[in-house]
Amino acid sequence: MASTRITIFDTTLRDGEQSPGCSMNVHEKVRLARQLDRLGVDVIEAGFPIASDGDFAAVQAVAAAVPRPIIAGLARAARHDIERAAQALEAAVRPRIHVFLATSDIHLQHKLRISRQQCLDQAAQSVRLARTFCDDVEFSPEDATRTDPEFLFQVLEAVIQAGARTLNIPDTVGYTVPLEFGELIRNIRERVRGVEQATISTHCHNDLGLAVANSLVAVANGARQVECTINGIGERAGNASLEEIVMALRVRSDRYPFETSIATEELYPTSQMLEEITGIPVQPNKAIIGRNAFAHEAGIHQDGMLKNRLTYEIMTPQSVGVPDSKLVLGKHSGRHALSLRCEQLGYHFERRELDEIYRRFVVLADEIKHVHDHHLLELIRQTYGDSRRIPPGRVASGAAASAVAAGAEDASRKPSPGTPVDFSVVGLTSIPTSDHLSEQEDYLWGV
């Protein structure tokens, strides 16, 4: 049976751009939109045309430059906004107008100062107006998760009747929790009249760190579009991270039998491009695309990785576009990884000799935290001079290549500003043999 498709709606260029420090000019937006196209997203929300002339121009330029995906422009539920969005989208092959209006009492009373009835009328009228420009209209009841559910259902029914074909349910302030959000989506699917004519979508913010979990539980309960951003950027704590959602769906397809159109090996290049354009570094431990996502420092983990990568990796780095895993040498590392790096640097040690190198290495790593190749080479030379150097003809070509590859890999995983990253890194293309030891002994010695 064919699995169900989840539409990936990328809002990096709109909500993502609302992150402090993440604004992009027209040229940068077009560059990133082209990469989002290569990544395979279904919808690109290119901007909020009424917000500024720059935003208008960016939506126009993206619409003209990227014909395959749907290009969405955001509009408040107001005539001028909708007209401006329609105008900006004129060149789009598949335009979408995304209309939003807050529905929670907090927003109605304090921000919009309108009644529920006025809200209901304005939502329906705006969607009707948007439909005069474009067949593809999405409606978002802003702050949906803090809206009285009965009123939310009424609004959704009204906008479906007015012609909305996507019902996006934003957790605008990142307030909801998975069980509650799943229930809300299920109730929308079961109780809103006419819902079968529309696609239910989610748009989760990350204020409690739950944006991805909430998006996934929504999918499990009937949402078929997910709004998300590269690197999880977005207003305040950000949006649900595209790469995490896509890889969760892929790695756990046993639990989530859904497909996306994403070319996952483009995830890392896209993340890197965004980091380069905005100058906002990705946190090192960020899932999927962070610098440490495929880096192993603990000796026990490194030992497992050298024996079989399945021990500590649930996906291959290549599947998300990262060149390779790396074993970082630090004070938690073990003899196996150290020995391999020494070989890659052109030195071979017998077991007892390596014990001595290891003892000194741990003291050094404790002292200086980040051990680089030149530190390791100095330590080797201080201990044994050049006597343990492998003669040039005998350096295994695989070992030499992986030593180079380790450097190259570091260069490709660009450092975040101000963060030292060129630790001594072990390439994983050659694995040392230790057949003189029993497996258990080898494990205990190696870590």
Please give the Cα distance from 206 to 119 (Å, whole number).
26
Name residue 378's amino acid.
E
Please give the Cα distance from 194 to 417 (Å, whole number).
51
Tell the smallest beta-carbon distance from residue 148 to ligand KIV (Å). 17
CA distances from 152 to 108, 116, 187, 301 (A): 13, 10, 11, 49
Whose Cβ is closer to ligand KIV: residue 140's or residue 215's?
140
Tell the smallest beta-carbon distance from residue 235 to ligand KIV (Å). 6
Contact call for residues 177 and 207 (beta carbons, < 8 A): no
Query: Which of ligand KIV, Zn ion, none lies near 140, with the C-beta cut-off 5 to 8 A by kind?
Result: ligand KIV
Q: What SS3 class is residue 281?
A: coil
7, 8, 10, 15: which one binds ligand KIV (CB under 6 A): 15
In the structure encoding, which two tokens stand for residue 285, read together?
């431990």
Please give the Cα distance from 56 to 293 (Å, whole number).
37
Tell the smallest beta-carbon distance from residue 138 to ligand KIV (Å). 9
Query: Which of Zn ion, ligand KIV, none lies near 142, with the C-beta cut-off 5 to 8 A by kind?
Result: ligand KIV
Contact region for ligand KIV (CB under 6 A) — 80-88, 164-172, 210-218, 381-389? 164-172
Please give the Cα distance from 351 to 434 (Å, whole number).
10
7, 35, 140, 272: which one binds ligand KIV (CB under 6 A): 140
Tell the smallest beta-carbon distance from residue 171 to Zn ion (Å). 9
Please give the Cα distance from 102 to 77 (Å, whole number).
9
10, 17, 55, 142: which one binds ligand KIV (CB under 6 A): 142
Please give the Cα distance from 188 to 149 (Å, whole number).
9
Q: What SS3 class is residue 165?
A: coil
Q: What SS3 class is residue 387?
A: coil
In the structure encoding, which two tokens stand for residue 433, read together?
């043999």
Please give the Cα distance from 361 to 378 (Å, whole number).
11
Q: Which residues, including other chains, have CB under 8 Å from residue 60's CB and lie 6 or more apart?
A: 88, 89, 90, 91
Tell the smallest beta-carbon distance from residue 170 to Zn ion (Å). 6
Whose Cβ is closer to ligand KIV: residue 73's or residue 182's?
73
Does the protein bind ligand KIV through residue 172 (CB under 6 A)?
A: yes
Tell the smallest beta-carbon distance from residue 15 to ligand KIV (Å). 5
Tell the smallest beta-carbon distance from residue 14 to ligand KIV (Å). 8
Whose Cβ is closer to Zn ion: residue 128's or residue 236's?
236
Residues that bind Zn ion (CB under 5 A): 15
Contact call for residues 40 and 13 (beta carbons, < 8 A): no
For ligand KIV, the binding residues in 187-206 under the rule CB under 6 A are 203, 205
Tell the smallest beta-carbon distance from residue 166 to Zn ion (Å). 15
Binding string, residues 201-230; x marks residues near ligand KIV by CB under 6 A? --x-x-------------------------
In the structure encoding, which two tokens stand for residue 111, read together?
């921000």
Contact region for ligand KIV (CB under 6 A) — 121-129, 166-174, 262-270, 341-349? 166-174
Site residues (CB under 6 A) for ligand KIV?
15, 100, 140, 142, 168, 170, 172, 203, 205
